[in-house]
Amino acid sequence: MTDYEMYGIAVVGSLIAGGINTFAGNGSAITLTILTEVLGLPPNVANGTNRIGVFTQCTATSWVFYKNGKLNVAQNKKYLTPILIGAIIGGWLAINVSNEQFRAVFKFMMVFTLVAVLVKPKRWLRKTEVDFKPKAYVYFPLLLALGFYGGFIQMGMGIFFLIIMVLGMRMNITESNALKGFVIGLYTLVLIVVFHFQGMIDWKLGGIMAIGQTLGGYLVARFATKSKMADQIAYYVLVAVLLLAVVKLFFI
């Protein structure tokens, strides 16, 4: 396979991943596979390199959601602190610990998540309950753990974020997707600096992947802010991503 063929696969795969990340999550399963299996990066360097595209994609989608009134940071700022703290701790640990042991637990987390998504699907299509006020002792540890996971490996972070925000904090799925992109983009910027100074980012390959991820995320974000079917489609994409992940992790 020539360099041009590899880079072509990288751009197309990352474009699909960017779209999946914006609508649901787990797009990093695609980008990390490309970085390790196609482009030949070691897992820890792939983990750092992947963050470039995640950041540029999240920046683009956050702007689109904000411009179209789907992203309200001020109203949800209480959720930012625990996620940021957890992500920084998780990112620091990712530098010093292999991801492989953590991935062994990942497939069972995917099964649990799939069950949570399929039970009472109408919960995923409701409007944001503005008057609902979750207790800090409930959401803080949940989001701290979520941030830790995102900082450590990123793969599947978007799905777990939606589970907590839609089912736990009773937010609309499209608004949850908007907040997801902003939060992930925020802590990813910090982690990029950390990974860079540890020599765990390939900026050339990360830049190539970022082209596809950003374009895919931008196009899907535009669609999500304009379509009346965005909530339903986001739910179906989420179910499809989870089903494919479970099949791949357990049977392939």
Please give the Cα distance from 37 to 252 (Å, whole number): 16
- For the whole model, what pTM was predicted? 0.85
How many other C-beta atoms can be found within 10 angstroms of the C-beta atom of residue 216?
28
Please give the structure tokens belonging to residue 41. Answer: 């990066």
Domain of 203?
Answer: 3-251
Residue 152 contacts by C-beta under 8 Å, 6 or more apart in sequence? 90, 91, 93, 94, 99, 102
The amino acid present at 68, given as its one-letter code, is N
Cβ(110)–Cβ(240) below 8 Å = no
Instruction: Quote the CA–CA distance of 183 and 202 in Å, as a whole number.
Output: 24
Q: How far is CA 130 from CA 65, 156, 197, 243, in A?
A: 18, 27, 42, 31
Average pLDDT, the chain: 86
pLDDT in tens, 15-74: 999 998 898 887 888 898 889 888 989 888 988 999 999 999 999 999 999 999 999 898
In total, how many domains does the chain have? 1
Query: Region 124-136: what's the mean pLDDT?
Result: 81
